[in-house]
């Protein structure tokens, strides 16, 4: 268990982790309350309007990409986080006032969602890269995994808490709670010791710095594959607000309480996925590949769930698969990127992951309106299988991975040589020796290349 949380041994990281977790949960509580407010009060169960709200929240990350990453690499990340987190808290408080005074309209909520998206576009890459400032050396990989797990767990835990609170006290007070949650990260940043932050090379001033991140990624096919996978799933698969809200209200005719319970059950799987991800010392491509397939299978099963409770149970497996996928992808990109480029690469990563939502969320919402929420979840299942296919093609064509039987007829995944080999008789001493040589060669190849 200690190895799972080893990076928390550092004072700075403990303080930052606690504050960021509270803030992340509050942010996702607000986004969930926004979606439910749009679906049930500002429209008549209009899933397209929910999709538009999500698009406005995530779209700025794509539009502002060249500047957000450069800001993360050039300026003091601690001070930038104080600024962005403070602005997001003020926006949440403003939205709370409008809802509590019954002056909120659909268009005013669209405006707040867009403003939040603009600030979040600068906040996200800074926050992602800041984790490598508060830890050093061998702790970076574990800290990245825990930071990613915190962000993605909040993406699932926040909606669960919000669903319960919406039913108990109303959406307006959820926005108030979210505004207060930003105080946690501001206090944490105040107590982080700047003297103990890692030294880093900042991006120099001059021409070409805006597109340097794109040039760097272009030379890294392993990162490109991860970005392709995360784009497909992030665009068409990670639309949980649409899946759970429409299934609860349209398919099973339940209220906000049951909607919150669905997200709570999904959070159980997300917590398990977070803990399993933190235990892995090195993120690997094979874990990402398996998680993509698991996501597709979990969505498929959920789409065919005959009852509300069956659907709820299946959401736990969906939470496990989705969080494992997102955390592994995030850690793969962060830990294999040069420190001086990390802010710009993570901005590109988050833009690809969240920036596809303006395209995918309205489409998934339209599918839910036209053919029902089960077909919308089917779109999510397809995204998982497409991501799986992308990974398998890359592994087979460029990493020379094959499914092989060893001398004892056990199936295993191996990196094979392209040169022709003479296959000895099964069960012979030569066959066993060849298997040992192949495994040693495979391990050497994997160590020299990207994690598989």
Q: Once rounded to an integer, what is the mean pLDDT over residues 313-342?
A: 85
Give per-residue pLDDT as tens, 221-249: 889 999 999 999 988 988 887 888 888 88
CB 164 within 8 A of CB 264: yes
Question: Is 377:243 a contact under the CB 8 Å cutoff?
Answer: yes
pLDDT number for residue 425: 43
CA–CA separation, 234 vs 64, rounded Å?
A: 18
Q: What is the pLDDT of residue 204?
A: 52
pLDDT tens-digit readout, 84-131 = 999 999 998 999 999 999 888 889 989 988 998 899 888 888 887 787
Find all residues with CB under 8 Å of 285, minimum gap 6, and list them: 222, 225, 332, 391, 395, 399, 450, 451, 452
Answer for the pair 196, 12: CB distance below 8 angstroms, yes or no.
yes
Least confident of 60-74, 159-173, 428-442: 428-442
Taking all residues of the chain, what is their mean pLDDT, rounded to a whole number?
78
Q: Which of 234, 239, 221 is CA-nearest to residue 387?
A: 234
CB 164, CB 99: distance < 8 Å: no
Tell me which range, 146-150, 345-349, 427-431, is most confidently predicted by mean pLDDT: 345-349
Nearest to 145 by CA among 329, 309, 381: 329
Q: Given pLDDT bands bounded at 50, 70 and 90, which one contains residue 433?
A: very low
The answer, yes or no, to whether residue 310 has pLDDT greater than 50, is yes
pLDDT digits 0-9 by tens, 1-14? 466 777 787 788 88
Q: Which residues pair with 402 in a beta bridge?
A: 414
Separation of alpha carbons 224 and 211, rounded Å: 16
More reliable by pLDDT, 4 or 310: 310
* pLDDT for residue 197: 75
27, 224, 254, 353 from 234: Cα distances, Å:
18, 15, 27, 5
pLDDT of residue 1: 45
Please give, one letter per residue, the 3-state secondary structure of the chain. Answer: CCCCCHHHHCHHHHHHHHHHHHHHHHHHHHHHHHHHHHHHHHCCCCHHHHHHHHHHHHHHHHHCHHHHHHHHHHCCHHHHHHHHHHHHHHHHHHHHHHHHCCCCCHHHHHHHHHHHHHHHHHHHHHHHHHHHHHCCCCHHHHHHHHHHHHHHHHHHHHHHHHHHHHHHHCHHHHHHHHHHHHHHHHHHHHHCCHHHCCCCCCCCCCCCCCCHHHHHHHCCHHHHHHHHHHHHHHHHCCCHHHHHHHHHHHHCCCCHHHHHHHHHHHHHHHHHHHHHHHHCCCCCHHHHHHHHHHHHHHHHHHHCCCCHHHHHHHHHHHHHHHHHHHHHHHHHHHHCCCHHHHHHHHHHHHHHHHHCHHHHHHHHHHHHHHHCHHHHHHHHHHHHHHHHHHHHHHHHHCCCEEEEECCCCCEEEEECCCCCCCCCCCCCHHHHHHHHHHHHHHHHHHHHCCCC
Q: For the chain, what percent of residues have pLDDT higher than 70? A: 81
Mean pLDDT of 179-189: 91
**What is the predicted pLDDT for the residue at 267?**
76
Check whether 83 has a pLDDT greater than 70.
yes
């Amino acid at each position: 268990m200690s190895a799972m949380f080893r990076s928390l041994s550092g004072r700075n990281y403990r303080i930052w982790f606690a504050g960021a977790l509270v803030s992340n949960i509050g942010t996702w509580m607000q986004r969930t309350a926004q979606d439910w407010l749009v679906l049930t009060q500002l429209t008549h169960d209009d899933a397209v309007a929910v999709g538009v709200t999500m698009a406005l929240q995530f779209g700025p990350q794509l539009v502002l990409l060249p500047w957000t990453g450069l800001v993360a690499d050039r300026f003091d990340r601690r001070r930038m986080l104080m600024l962005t987190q403070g602005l997001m808290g003020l926006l949440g408080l403003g939205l709370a006032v409008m809802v509590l005074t019954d002056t909120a309209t659909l268009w005013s909520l669209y405006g707040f969602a867009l403003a939040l998206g603009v600030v979040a576009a600068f906040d996200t890459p800074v926050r992602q890269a800041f984790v490598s400032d508060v830890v050093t050396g061998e702790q970076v990989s574990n800290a990245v995994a825990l930071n990613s797990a915190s962000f993605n767990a909040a993406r699932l835990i926040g909606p669960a808490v919000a669903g319960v609170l919406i039913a108990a006290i109303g959406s307006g007070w959820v926005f108030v709670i979210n505004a207060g949650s930003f105080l946690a990260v501001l206090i944490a940043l105040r107590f982080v010791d700047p003297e103990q932050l890692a030294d880093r090379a900042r991006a120099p001033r001059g021409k070409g710095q805006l597109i340097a991140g794109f040039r760097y990624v272009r030379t890294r096919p392993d990162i490109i594959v991860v970005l392709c996978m995360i784009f497909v799933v992030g665009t068409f698969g990670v639309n949980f607000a649409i899946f759970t809200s429409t299934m609860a209200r349209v398919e099973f005719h339940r209220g906000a309480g049951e909607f919150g319970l669905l997200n709570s059950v999904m959070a159980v799987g997300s917590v398990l996925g977070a803990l399993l991800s933190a235990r892995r010392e090195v993120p690997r491509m094979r874990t990402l590949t398996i998680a993509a397939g698991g996501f597709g299978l979990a969505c498929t099963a959920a789409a065919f769930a005959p009852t509300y409770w069956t659907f709820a149970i299946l959401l736990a497996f969906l939470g496990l698969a989705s969080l494992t996928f997102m955390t592994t992808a995030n850690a793969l990109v962060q830990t294999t990127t040069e420190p001086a480029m990390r802010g710009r690469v993570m901005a590109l990563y988050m833009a690809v992951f969240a920036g596809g939502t303006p395209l995918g969320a309205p489409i998934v919402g339209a599918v839910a309106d036209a053919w029902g929420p089960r077909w919308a979840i089917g779109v999510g299942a397809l995204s998982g299988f497409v991501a799986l296919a992308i990974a398998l093609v890359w592994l087979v064509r460029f990493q020379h991975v094959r499914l092989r039987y060893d001398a004892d007829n056990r199936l295993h995944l191996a990196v094979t040589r392209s040169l022709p080999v003479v296959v000895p008789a099964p069960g012979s001493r030569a066959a066993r020796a060849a298997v040992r040589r192949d495994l040693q060669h495979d391990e050497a190849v994997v160590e020299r290349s990207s994690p598989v």
